Amino acid sequence: MDNTVIDRLLADLKSSSETCREAASRELWRLWFHQKGSSGMEILEQAQAFLQAGRVDQAELILNQLIQDQPDFAEAWNRRAVLCYLQGRHRQSLSDCQQVVALNPVHFGAIHGMGLCYAALGEYLPAIQAFRRALEIQPYALTNQKMILECTARLS
């Protein structure tokens, strides 16, 4: 991926313009999903279709194979993290989110996902740290601000 483009989009996430932030967010997601071209994107779409049809095992098999074939495809790890989170497998989801961030340190979705996993596990301090880290990338993301407040309240 072109770092100049990524840097511009990351700067746009901090814009006072909501339209600018939303466009930057959409473009980052598009780049991440298309990291491995149309073939990678098609496999992600196939896994998502299985997930939406309630065929979770089939979706996970596809994502596992994609990760095995292309271990540097951050979005494949992220999609599996989402699948695991939805199944209540928070430790595995957290591990996958950490792998996404190792591959793509600015993946605000995976960083947010780490916060969600920590919160679900009752580990509120690391959750707050993850949500703060996500806010550094997306300072206007209200969901991260809300989750920081919720986790802070649970610490009391």
Note the pLDDT tens digit of each residue in 66-104.
Answer: 999 999 999 999 999 999 999 999 999 999 999 999 999
This prediction has a pTM of: 0.95
Torsion on CA atoms 129, 96, 112, 55, rounded to nearest 10: -150
CA distance 131 to 39: 32
Q: What's the DSSP call for residue 2?
A: -
Note the pLDDT tens digit of each residue in 108-148.
Answer: 999 999 999 999 999 999 999 999 999 999 999 999 999 99
Q: What's the DSSP call for residue 138?
A: -
Query: Nearest-CA neighbor of 129 among 148, 102, 142, 143?
Result: 148
How many folded domains does the chain comprise? 1
Expressed as residue numbers, the domain containing 102 is 3-155
CA distance 10 to 138: 8
Residue 1 — very low, low, confident or very high, per pLDDT cuts 50/70/90?
Answer: low
Q: How confident is the model at residue 88, as a pLDDT?
A: 97
Predicted confidence (pLDDT) at residue 14 exceeds the cutoff of 80: yes
Q: What's the DSSP call for residue 34?
A: T
Note the pLDDT tens digit of each residue in 34-49.
Answer: 999 999 999 999 999 9
Q: Crossing angle for the helix pair 74-86 and 90-103, nearest 10 degrees?
A: 160
CATH assignment at residue 146: 1.25.40.10
